[in-house]
Amino acid sequence: MSCPSAWSEAPLWMSFSTLSDLEACPRRWALSTAVYPDVWKHRGYPRPPQSAALEGTVVHLALQKITKALVECGCTSLVDESAICTLRELGGYTAIIRSSLERALRSYDGNPRAAPVLDGIRHQLAARVPELRSRVQRFLSRIHPESRVARPGCPTTHPEAEFRYELQHGSHTEVELQASELGWLGVADLLTLSPTWCEIRDFKTGTPKEEHKFQLRTYALLWARDRDLNPSGRLADKLVLSYDESDVEVPVPGASALRSLEDELKERTAAALADLRADPPEARPSAENCKYCAVRHLCEEYWQWNARRQGEDRDPSKGRFADLQIKLSGQHGPSSWDGVVQSPSDLKAGGPILLRTLNLRFDLHPDQRLRLLNVHISKPSEESIEDERPPIVATMGASTEVFLLPT
């Protein structure tokens, strides 16, 4: 198990997701963005792929590709002849989704935590292409892009390009909004601008959350303060969160509400950056923060908290997946080891455990300490206990990860 060789610098630009991450747990942000030359050559700790999150990414990428093509071709409705031709040129929905899936999986190239499970996830998601196609079509059925109209003296450059210019009238995809005086940026999925109207729309592939509304209000502020794309400081007239099944309109903040929001962001940004100056930054263990934390095996506070956790959703007599720290005592069989529990406490710290291993890529030895993420835990039946077998059995599965602790 590798520790970071250096912490990351504080973020130069703040965004909604970075602030949310920093406020939830500064240690998680620091561990996730630090440098681990022993693990891989990229910055940050590699993240394990998760099917549900990847599914959302695939839908998002497909929407990006299709809306961008529709906007560039001047299609204002999906039933336009030009829209049908555009989709055909892209290969049709199924081909777009398949290529989006491959693009999403490519981001895991060279990721040592993804390699053992990526093929399984690819097959699982490939079988869901018809469902993903329906999801993409549902999102698209509710958008009405506007053709772009070049204004005299206004270059046709997209804001992704090196130089940023005043946005033309029409629809724009993936618009990076920057409020440089505030030090904030955000990427709006679809921004539609006309002489009298400005709509910001964000596609959300997960379940609705209150924080999505805050994020969209933040985009309204960034748009209003973006001196390059919006030199006249126009305000948004409509904010839309676009979910799988329906759109949700978010009340538009007026000039005074934007000023309050700006003050709030300044204050929260300053507090989050101050928290980051601690060495190491504070760990804030909680069920919500730690459940999907990709660096929890590196976080000592998590394992101490995990060792103290009582009850919650835990009934070892029912099988469940959990994180576990154990110390091996000896080999039990060709693919099983005896050991003792070190964390969590509801499995009786110091109590015996039988670990059934699967596809281990390193050798184990007695006294070795292991951290196991997502291992299946069960109590054997009464008869097994009478047979004097260990009371707790931990079984590694395809999604289990094992990390060796220094001995």
Adjacent-strand bridge partners of 202: 241
Nearer to ligand SF4, 133 or 297 (CB): 297
Q: In a 3-state reduction of DSSP, which class is residue 18?
A: helix
Nearer to ligand SF4, 212 or 296 (CB): 296
Running DSSP on this structure, what letter comes out for residue 319? -
Alpha carbons 25 and 282: distance in angstroms, whole number: 7
Tokens representing residue 388 in the block: 């004097």
Binding piece for ligand SF4, criterion CB under 6 A, among 22-30, 61-69, 77-85, 331-339: 22-30
In this structure, the dihedral spanned by the alpha carbons of residues 324, 330, 333 and 338, taken in order and rounded to 10 degrees, is -30
Q: Interface residues for ligand SF4 in 39-78 (CB under 6 A)?
A: none
Give the residue with the Cβ less far from ligand SF4, 283 or 372.
283
Residue 104 binding ligand SF4, by CB under 6 A: no
Which two structure tokens, joined as six digits, stand for 244?
A: 């799988």
169/297 with CB nearer ligand SF4: 297
Element (DSSP H or E) covering residue 21: helix 16-24
Number of residues that bind ligand SF4 (CB under 6 A): 15
Shortest Å distance, C-beta 31 to ligand SF4: 6
Binding residue for ligand SF4 (CB under 6 A) from 18, 27, 276, 344?
27
Report whether 117 contacts 398 (CB < 8 A): yes
Please give the DSSP secondary-structure letter assigned to residue 346: G
The window from 24-32, 49-57, 136-144, 196-204 that contacts ligand SF4 (CB under 6 A) reads 24-32
Is 25 among the residues that bind ligand SF4 (CB under 6 A)?
Answer: yes
- Tell how strand 247-250 and strand 197-203 pair up: unpaired
Q: Is-contact 354 390, C-beta < 8 A? A: yes
CB of 363 to ligand SF4, least distance (A): 28
Q: Which of residues 270-329 bind ligand SF4 (CB under 6 A)?
A: 283-285, 289-290, 293, 295-296, 299, 301-302
Q: How many CA atoms lie within 13 A of 109 on its CB side?
A: 5
Given the rule CB under 6 A, which residues bind ligand SF4? 25, 27-28, 31, 283-285, 289-290, 293, 295-296, 299, 301-302
